[in-house]
Amino acid sequence: MQIRNGFVETVGHTPLIRLRHLSEETGCEILAKAEFLNPGGSVKDRAARSIIQDAEEKGLLKPGGTVVEGTAGNTGIGLAHICLAKGYKCIIYMPNTQSKEKFDMLRILGAEVRPVPAVPFADPMNYNHQARRAAEEIENAIWANQFDNVANRQAHIDSTGPEIWEQTEGKIDVWTAATGTGGTLAGTAIYLKDKKPEMKVYLADPMGSSLYCHVKEGKLEREGNSITEGIGNGRITANVEGAPIDDAVRVTDTEALNIVYHLLHKEGLYVGGSTGINVGAAVKIARELGPGHTIVTILCDSGDRYKSRIFNPEWLASKGLLETLEQPYQDWLHAVSEQEG
């Protein structure tokens, strides 16, 4: 029988999609794992499941307990789903800069959402520190601690890596992904490099993140800014620590958004901004390495989570990004607005 037992068993086993146009254009096989098809809608379902299972196994979380986390959204959504499926309470601290769709979603999923100002990690009011302190004060509660809890990357050592290995039958030359916590990039890299040491791992980084410079020059320095959500970091998390990363590629918002619109327009795939960074990186790597390589990345979440932002011409214009879209994509947006008219 092919039945999965509830939400928890439905996480993972996502299809690996060949991006037809970009593969043909570059002469490389550009393959992307459809993580938006996870039951909670993003790659973070895997980390959420793994973190909760790990806490249960260690006896840190008992029936009726509470899961507390600081999250830019997708981890919270994954945790909230799994908390419902397992009977836990869920409290989420989230920077108030995140999209309205994510806040609404978490509330619908029964999480108690506590919006907090977006301040750096060094500030004690940062959402992560607030989540940790709250968990310490509640009985039978855990702080999921997705950034430094390596049960996060373990999810990808146990599931994403093996799935990609099987789906490509080991025919993979490059693995690339952007990092928020780094769990996806690092865990998948650890598994795949163990199977095939000669394959290469590239960090995909948005502007405003310090990791590109860290991989290239060994120093944590940032430059510019990005409208992408859930990715980029100013420090080396425990999940990234020691991961086999060979090189890094930086992708601008303009490049990422044109990829997002390309995927919608030409492939019928509706994805969020971090996917634009991932696929943008895959295309740059393909051009750098030349034809004949197989490059794998992930489609992190659905565009539905960003309707009011990257699919909204007024919002794009307010960020100076509307006019940086290629003309057919601007025309697409105008046609959408006229229909709404």
303 binds ligand PMP (CB under 6 A): no
Of 67-75, 129-137, 189-197, 219-227, the window that binds ligand PMP (rule: CB under 6 A) is 67-75
Nearer to ligand PMP, 211 or 333 (CB): 211
33, 44, 86, 284: the catalytic one is: 44
Nearer to ligand PMP, 256 or 322 (CB): 256
160 binds ligand PMP (CB under 6 A): no
Q: What is the closest distance, in whole angstroms, from the C-beta atom of residue 40 to ligand PMP in the complex?
A: 11
The C-alpha atoms of residue 272 and residue 306 are separated, in whole angstroms, by 7
Nearer to ligand PMP, 163 or 229 (CB): 229
Of 83-91, 93-101, 229-237, 325-333, the window that binds ligand PMP (rule: CB under 6 A) is 229-237
232 binds ligand PMP (CB under 6 A): no
309 binds ligand PMP (CB under 6 A): no
**DSSP strands (E only) in the chain:** 16-18, 29-34, 66-70, 89-95, 112-116, 141-143, 174-178, 200-206, 247-251, 294-299
C-alpha pair distances (Å), 268 with each of 34, 92, 293: 13, 33, 24
78 binds ligand PMP (CB under 6 A): no
12 binds ligand PMP (CB under 6 A): no
253 binds ligand PMP (CB under 6 A): no
The C-alpha atoms of residue 315 and residue 258 are separated, in whole angstroms, by 16
Residues 6+ apart with CB under 8 A from 163: 12, 13, 14, 16, 33
**DSSP strands (E only) in 165-309:** 174-178, 200-206, 247-251, 294-299
272 binds ligand PMP (CB under 6 A): yes
- The structure tokens listed for 69 are 């986390």
Q: What is the closest distance, in whole angstroms, from the C-beta atom of residue 298 to ligand PMP in the complex?
A: 8
The C-alpha atoms of residue 187 and residue 209 are separated, in whole angstroms, by 20
179 binds ligand PMP (CB under 6 A): yes
C-alpha pair distances (Å), 12 with each of 183, 207, 290: 15, 29, 31
182 binds ligand PMP (CB under 6 A): yes
The C-alpha atoms of residue 108 and residue 27 are separated, in whole angstroms, by 44
Q: Which residue of the chain is nearest ligand PMP when measured via CB? A: 230
Q: What is the closest distance, in whole angstroms, from the C-beta atom of residue 277 to ligand PMP in the complex?
A: 8
Nearer to ligand PMP, 237 or 294 (CB): 237
Residue 294's Cα: distance from chain center in Å?
A: 21
- The structure tokens listed for 92 are 């989420």
Please confirm, yes or no, whether 193 is among the known catalytic residues.
no
Nearer to ligand PMP, 74 or 149 (CB): 74
Please pick, from the candidates 184, 188, 297, 302, the single residue that binds ligand PMP as defined by CB under 6 A. Answer: 184
DSSP state of 14: P
Among 189, 154, 209, CA closest to 296? 189
**Which residues of the shown chain bind ligand PMP in the complex (CB under 6 A)?**
43-44, 72-74, 178-185, 229-231, 272, 274, 300-301
Give catalytic residues, as residue numbers.
44
